[in-house]
Structure 1
């Protein structure tokens, strides 16, 4: 009786060492060829500096890649402030509160494409005596040594309802989230054309984007080739809110498609941003890395680190997003 080991040796002896080397190199080449196709996982952005045990969201980075801003929230969202980090040489410095934030609930900073102006949402009063405390869209000019004074957009944009997450294209068109009565759903994405320095009446994105559910927090490509946004309660959603992308072809928006479970999770995924060179995609998620704990030590470790169920900022190659 010939053993299994003997049979294996008889079969493998057919190949010389050179042939085995050829087979090994071929296998290695195959693995290298398919590795780019393997799903890349989103990574925490600046873990310990930006993504921490607190709630961080709403990242934006200047076109020069030397100035970033995001917002930090308290656990109950009663405190919401915008912070910034400047690049010192090739390294990012430490976070600090921006000069115009610290009193009101300021969120969702977004640079315009040339990095000279920063838009954001805030519940600060539009005028003396304003006690409405709804969210409106503001902007502030970037100056040589800091920031100018915040200015509110006109009331054609800022209404008695909430306006959120401004994003501006190269031609100045403003895309944002609003809770207008004319909307298709609870929250919808609108755009406003800039003509002669003034924003025009907002227009609701069509049914390729907006639905009867919730659409919110959109990032517009500077050339308006694509838009990335979040939606909640869609049939193809995974849970608490998912990211979608829609491409524009010949002036027509194609049907939005989900980013898939490579990026989306069963938790809330939102606040998209794409680097100026179009290579890196950033987003916010409150997904957890660890579900439970077996001791108070493990519990404290879980709560004192990012991925503890509060918002964190993630990054992944833009190449991983669905194509047109």
Structure 2
């Protein structure tokens, strides 16, 4: 009887345990599906301890840690996932990305190559250790410092506002009811304004506007130059002050417009180019206030969030225009910033970089140009984004220090600008290597000279503020030149140029005549040059240095005769058939009579 009771008790405990486990699994899945990743992780970790063969739990832990930007933990879980029978191709991609974020570039390259075998078009995801090292090499260009006013929570989304800054922050604040964003368990974002000190530090930080604050995310924002128009990103809230979710349960962001009326801002109005069910945000206004750049995940893009522009005229706002495949990728492009010279800065996970979100720039004035990675120390293996720039100084955000979703604001200055270039042959458009390339200032004075390698590439660091000239010289080619105006470098961290050199068919004879004894130059010696083809003859005379020169024709045989009273005469033959070089140099010694 006791044995039966024990068996019943054991079965009962087992059923209760199974029921508790099922309830915990259901709760974890609900957290996961509602994007409350922090809560989901806590429950999935317990479930994994109870069942370390559950592939679904491992996969969801890998995803959850990735979604809160915990690359270290995400790597550990993806290392399990990629070796499970249920592994999917995209798991290779995500594993490679978190390895890259953890600076394990060689291992990341292996897993990225596995992913690319299944998707050959995913060339942008290629991890090139040589390119990564190149991004690390030019760190002297920038001076980067984390600002002292950062909080323990996230601070990012900086915008110029008159002579102040406005930014978004999840920092602690006094409130009767504390409400957290379930995705990362931080406070919802609020807008703050700050005074800019002479050294770029921020002080006197205050909440930007109580009237504009909602119970959800507010920011980032941007302003016109006068500071009386504001474009505001916020969670889409209904008239009942509740967030509106799309069919997938995601709370989208929308762009709103406010006008300053006296000392107060008007009630935010939805901009007409928002799209129902999709996100639109991260605004940046052109200096003439006629073009607004922003992000959106609306249909018709290239994947993830894309960058768009909308133009304004006297009739209002036009249609949203996608910036195209030069800028957008299948991954996320975010946080645009447009300068007065139409140089666009943005963050991307799709273009090749150091890992996470990297910052890029592209000159919208130029066609067929590619985004330029700003390199280290602006970019790191973590998320770097939200750059703004004015007069060579600016701000951006990064989670390089605290990791996960804890972003800090950094100040930076451009210490020098990088001029990159490459030399090509005009006739064939092929790369021309081993040229002597000189950087001259606007007065034509040489600053620096380098010799290119076989790839024809060169680079110079400059301060900017003046025009520069680049001259490329190589034997057998006409000198190549490129002019870089000061305006080309404004609002840029680097500029790329191409230099072309055409084949030089000219052939020059350069000669030197000296006395055998003592090697002193012979002045006034006559050199008679006879063309065997045309039967033409011309004469040269050596100068006080004993030098003479002239142009010769190719595919020709010349006879030379050297004459001067008091010296023995000499004869010479010069054959220019199939001669590749551009110069013939001869040296003759003469005995006195």
* Same fold at TM > 0.5: yes
Contact persistence 2:139–2:376 (CA under 8 A): no
Contact persistence 1:191–1:204 (CA under 8 A): yes
Answer yes or no: is 1:266 the counterpart of 2:368: no
Contact persistence 1:141–1:148 (CA under 8 A): yes
| Equivalent in the alignment of 1:98 | 209
Contact persistence 1:113–1:222 (CA under 8 A): no
Runs of 5+ in structure 2 lacking a partner? Answer: 1-137, 172-183, 246-250, 418-492, 497-593
- 313-322 or 167-176, which deviates more: 313-322
Distance 1:81 1:52 in 2: 13
Name which of 174, 193, 211 aligns with 2:329: 211
Answer yes or no: is 1:284 the counterpart of 2:397: yes
- 111-120 or 71-80, which deviates more: 71-80
Q: Spell out the pairing of 1:106-117 with structure 2 (5 A cutoff).
A: 106-117=218-229
SS in 2 for 1:206: coil
Assess, with a 3 A threshold, how the Cα gap between structure 1 residues 261 and 88 changes in structure 2: closer, same or farther.
Answer: closer
Contact persistence 2:396–2:411 (CA under 8 A): yes
| Equivalent in the alignment of 1:57 | 156
Q: In the TM superposition, what whole-angstrom CA distance separates every residue of 1:206-253 from its partner, at most 9, and x where no partner exists?
A: 222112222111111134x2100011043x211111000001235x36
Answer yes or no: is 1:85 the counterpart of 2:194: yes
Answer yes or no: is 1:69 the counterpart of 2:166: yes
| Equivalent in the alignment of 1:240 | 356
Contact persistence 1:126–1:152 (CA under 8 A): no
Larger radius of gyration: 2
Contact persistence 2:343–2:364 (CA under 8 A): yes
Q: CA deviation at 1:150?
A: 1.5
SS in 2 for 1:93: strand
Q: Spell out the pairing of 1:174-253 with structure 2 (5 A cutoff).
A: 174-223=292-341, 225-234=342-351, 236-249=352-365, 252=367
SS in 2 for 1:157: coil
What is the TM-score when the length of structure 2 is the normalising length? Answer: 0.41
Contact persistence 2:258–2:265 (CA under 8 A): yes
| Equivalent in the alignment of 2:409 | 313
Assess, with a 3 A threshold, how the Cα gap between structure 1 residues 230 and 94 changes in structure 2: closer, same or farther.
Answer: closer
SS in 1 for 2:344: strand
Q: In the TM superposition, what whole-angstrom CA distance separates every residue of 1:9-68 from its partner, at most 9, and x where no partner exists?
A: xxxxxxxxxxxxxxxxxxxxxxxxxxx9934331113x1x2x122210001122x31x32
Q: CA deviation at 1:89?
A: 11
SS in 1 for 2:386: strand
| Equivalent in the alignment of 1:162 | 279
Assess, with a 3 A threshold, how the Cα gap between structure 1 residues 39 and 221 changes in structure 2: closer, same or farther.
Answer: closer
Distance 1:109 1:98 in 2: 13
Q: CA deviation at 1:77?
A: 4.5
How large is the Cα RMSD of the aligned pairs? 2.8
Distance 2:371 2:198 in 1: 39
Assess, with a 3 A threshold, how the Cα gap between structure 1 residues 38 and 88 changes in structure 2: closer, same or farther.
Answer: closer
| Equivalent in the alignment of 2:263 | 145
Distance 1:193 1:111 in 2: 16
Runs of 5+ in structure 1 lacking a partner? Answer: 1-35, 289-306
Q: In the TM superposition, what whole-angstrom CA distance separates every residue of 1:60-85 from its partner, at most 9, and x where no partner exists?
A: 122x31x3211112653551111122
Q: CA deviation at 1:88?
A: 10
Query: How many matched pairs?
Result: 260
Q: CA deviation at 1:308?
A: 6.4
- Larger % of helix: which? 2
Distance 2:344 2:145 in 1: 22
Q: Which protein, 1 or 2, shows the higher relative CO under an 8 Å CA cutoff with sep ≥ 6?
A: 1
| Equivalent in the alignment of 1:11 | none
Q: CA deviation at 1:282?
A: 1.3
Distance 2:343 2:213 in 1: 31
Distance 1:257 1:87 in 2: 29
